[in-house]
Structure 1
Amino acid sequence: MSLVNILLCIGFYAALLICTSLHRRQINSPAERRTFAILWVGTGSVAFVSNILLAKLGIMEPMPAVYNGLHTALWIGFGFPYMWFGTRDAPIWKVFVIFLITSFIVKYAEFHLFGTWEGDGFLGMGSGMFWYVLGWSTVDGFLPFAMSLGVKLLGRFVPGMALN
């Protein structure tokens, strides 16, 4: 994993977030900023630990720790909450598709930069890397709904969160 590849990956994440920011929504209010920060730390941390545990269980291919940290802190931790804020008023099907497709694109970019996401099928469905990437991207398509549920639950205990 070279520094150039890491910088290219970060640049790719930034470019994809620019594409997904066409909604022109901004995270302005203190409640939105607090919610974003909580989602960034919470989603990134849960994803980091989940990737390690899923690899130990043999469900997911193991990732190097540096790459897992980069992927979960910047893409899942920062990028997903950013997209979540931009899609909160969108129809459910559209939110699912946006998260699935952006995740699919990111996984292919990460594959070419780092050689990751080389699993053979997804939970017994299909064979080869395409099905592995599509399967995990589909899981990512459901994450905004888990984030919404998490925000509603946390909103009961953490004051000043944006709940809608």
Structure 2
Amino acid sequence: MGIDKDNTIDHMLSSNLRACGHFLYYQTGGKVGQRRILLALLEHEDITQRELQDILKIRSGSLSEILAKIEEDRYIKREKSDEDKRQVKLVLTESGRNKAFQMEEDYERLVRKMFECLSKEEKERLLIILKKLVKNWGYLKTDRTFEMIAKEFRNETT
């Protein structure tokens, strides 16, 4: 069975999107890193670990591991809630606030640098296309035919 030109461009798109995903993941700190946690705590002051877990949509064990490192670095501290002494709130220390602001600035510079090769118009067109893909892929998650094909593919590649 030969590969037609439309299929080839689909492969090229998939390959390039995969490369973009890999770059973004490894160059901007992965799924949930210190930056996301510190910025969430900056935005939502004095929240519980469970509330933070819900905001970040992360498993409890994963969050606990990262929080332990952040606490060891003295960027956060745990304090009993004034309203309910059984509740423990996560609070940014002064150095944690400074680190969060610095990480936010660094991320902004990084993002600007990543997209400086595109004009404003190219960025706007790319955003429209990416939103369209994300919307379609959201539908594909519930498409049984797609799920069967994807499951078969995953089994073949493992």
User: Which structure is richer in relative contact order (CA contacts within 8 A, separation 6 or more)?
Assistant: 1
Please identify which structure carries the higher helix content: 1
Please identify which structure carries the higher strand content: 2
- Normalised by the length of structure 1, the TM-score is 0.29
- Normalised by the length of structure 2, the TM-score is 0.30
